[in-house]
A and B are shown apart, each in its own frame.
Chain A
Amino acid sequence: MSTAIQIAYLIASILFITGIKLLSKTKDARRGNMLSAIGMLIAIIATLLTINVLSLVEIAVCMLIGGAIGLFYATKVAMTKIPEMVALFNGFGGLASFAVALSDYFLKSNTSLESLDAVNLTSIILSVLIGGVTFTGSLIAYLKLDGKVSGQPITFSGQHLLNLVLLIAFVATSVLVFLNPGNLVFIGALIGISLLLGVLTVIPIGGADMPVVISLLNSYSGMAACATGFILNNNVLIVAGSLVGASGIILTQIMCKAMNRSLTNVLLGGFGQTVTAAAGDGPAIVVKEIGVEETAMLFDSASSVLVVPGYGMAVAQAQHVIRELMEQCEKRNIDFRFAIHPVAGRMPGHMNVLLAEANISYDKLIEMESINDDFPNTDLVFVVGANDVVNPAARTNPQSPIYGMPILNADKARTVIVSKRSMGKGYAGIENELFGYPNCLMLFGDAKQTITKVVGEMKEMS
């Protein structure tokens, strides 16, 4: 490979790193994304220059097809559907690395078997494993998020044993590949096992654990790119792949910490199935209902409001009408902010994107650690479509499955209004003690419809 191309790859790597560095400030983030995209363009053009002229047409056709699909999806996708898109794209990334690894394998096994040395074979095997697991795992995650497959954990007896057996089979087959590098049967078996492992590791994981799964698969797609870099002896693939791998791992850790669960616990799956029996005992919770008019009056008389959004807000598409509520409150000089729990939504940071789309200024979106001390001084907390993240049982009840999970201290505010469709339980399948607290009022009904009515009442008052 010529020096010019190596320099181009170096520039691309610097641009990727600078791009991610600029993401640390919201105002610079867009410029960072641009720089990263320029880095990618430089890497692609530099690589294209090494390609012999004959295949350029085919390459152009492939890139036009891929570019058109990508651009179409990126412009059409609704912000509530971003988790699905990220899941799908993780899968494409994994599949691309998988395909490159196999392509390299077939090329070398057909020409010179001796060029398949130990390093090369190890990289190919790792790339097939990580790429394959990322591909089918992401596909299942996508289907679950999109509701095409039930979001409920799918478990059966002997599941973990089966996964273990498959993993051992993978290692054993890898040894066989080392002994007979040219044998297509063994490579075929590796392909089959890795694709099956991807499916089996994601099916037992429930819908609300998806933030962890997508983050982890994101990390895998980076690691797969890294493994491909080792196959092709290419630094830019390794730099970019490790950045993505690190990003995914950090997000996975943040998500696990915010649920007070270990990664193993999430991956073994089935959360929320075993706790229903324990949740049955204890006195039934008596709640107080509140109507639209009284809600409007409470907002009108408050001087500070904190909104706690959850996935239910996204389902009801209530974010735009919440902005109208915010405008009404700001007209009355009421301090109006949002308290965002790290696992609210179906992927890390999902709530922030939905609220930003509704044209809410990002300095109003406050993360859990910064806002939790403000709850006792807040007049009114408005919980929209969130449940487990405000359940005080996480602090008070050692028997509760969510005990120890960091929560938003909504219960400490003077008044709490919970907008909820019905008295259904949260994802963890447990009662929420907060709903029975003396300072808590329930506003039943579809969030979008009831809040629209509240806004209407407030407009009449002024």
Chain B
Amino acid sequence: MTVSALLILIYVLVLASYLGFELISKVPPTLHTPLMSGSNAISGITIVGALIACNEMGYTSVAKLLGMFALILATINVVGGYAVTDRMLKMFKKK
């Protein structure tokens, strides 16, 4: 990886972290549990990494199996995380 490519990744990391801190400190305590299950789902973004790993497979069976294993786990996080967050947020009603 070239230095400039690495620097761009670091740029993204720093800016996204700052943005994250700003936005999340505004989430009310009432919603902290859905925030956590929702971020569970977002951390399932590793699914993209797993798909890329699967795509590059075929070289060794170990890499392939690990990629597929990661794909299953990340899908559990994505589907389960979003579904349970929606289930919770549906319950928050104002009368």
By a beta-carbon cutoff of 8 Å, the part of chain A in contact with chain B is 13, 16-17, 19-21, 23-24, 26-27, 29-30, 33-34, 36-37, 40, 43-44, 47-48, 50-52, 55, 58-59, 62-63, 65-67, 69-71, 73-75, 77, 79, 82, 85-86, 89-90, 92-93, 95-97, 99-100, 102-104, 106-107, 110-111, 117, 119-120, 214-215, 218, 221-222, 224-226, 228-251, 254, 340, 342, 347-350, 352-353, 356-357, 359, 361-363, 365, 367
The answer to whether A356 touches B93, judged by C-beta atoms less than 8 angstroms apart, is yes
Bound-complex Cα distance A221 to B42 (A)? 10
Name B26-75 residues within 8 Å CB distance of A.
26-60, 62-64, 66-75
- Closest chain-B Cβ to A271's Cβ sits at a distance in Å of 22
Chain A residues near B95 (CB-CB < 8 A)? 361
The answer to whether A20 touches B53, judged by C-beta atoms less than 8 angstroms apart, is no
Q: How many residues of B contact A (CB 8 A)?
A: 82
Chain A residues near B69 (CB-CB < 8 A)? 99
User: Would you mind naming 5 contact pairs between A and B with Cβ atoms under 8 Å apart?
Assistant: A23-B34, A40-B41, A89-B77, A225-B43, A238-B13
With A36-B38, A79-B88: A340-B29 Cβ-Cβ less than 8 Å: yes
Query: CB within 8 A of A359: which of B34, B57, B93?
Result: B93
Query: CB within 8 A of B48: which of A26, A233, A236, A349?
Result: A236
With A33-B85, A348-B29, A357-B91: A247-B36 Cβ-Cβ less than 8 Å: yes
6 new A-B contacts at CB < 8 Å, known A40-B41, A62-B75: A24-B27, A37-B41, A55-B55, A106-B62, A225-B49, A342-B29
Bound-complex Cα distance A65 to B49 (A)? 18
The answer to whether B51 touches A246, judged by C-beta atoms less than 8 angstroms apart, is no
The answer to whether B79 touches A82, judged by C-beta atoms less than 8 angstroms apart, is no
Query: CB within 8 A of A20: which of B23, B79, B88?
Result: B23
- Closest chain-A Cβ to B69's Cβ sits at a distance in Å of 5
Bound-complex Cα distance A47 to B47 (A)? 9
- Closest chain-A Cβ to B76's Cβ sits at a distance in Å of 4
Chain B residues near A26 (CB-CB < 8 A)? 28, 30-31, 92, 94
Query: CB within 8 A of A103: which of B67, B85, B87?
Result: B67
The answer to whether B88 touches A356, judged by C-beta atoms less than 8 angstroms apart, is yes
Query: CB within 8 A of A119: which of B6, B39, B46, B76?
Result: B6
Query: CB within 8 A of B75: which of A63, A85, A342?
Result: A63
Chain B residues near A365 (CB-CB < 8 A)? 30
Bound-complex Cα distance A21 to B49 (A)? 25
Query: CB within 8 A of B27: which of A23, A92, A104?
Result: A23
- Closest chain-A Cβ to B48's Cβ sits at a distance in Å of 5
Chain B residues near A347 (CB-CB < 8 A)? 32-33, 36
Query: CB within 8 A of A243: which of B37, B39, B44, B56?
Result: B39
With A62-B71, A352-B30: A40-B89 Cβ-Cβ less than 8 Å: no
The answer to whether A228 touches B49, judged by C-beta atoms less than 8 angstroms apart, is yes
CB-based nearest A residue for B93: A361
Chain B residues near A70 (CB-CB < 8 A)? 75-81, 83
The answer to whether B92 touches A99, judged by C-beta atoms less than 8 angstroms apart, is no
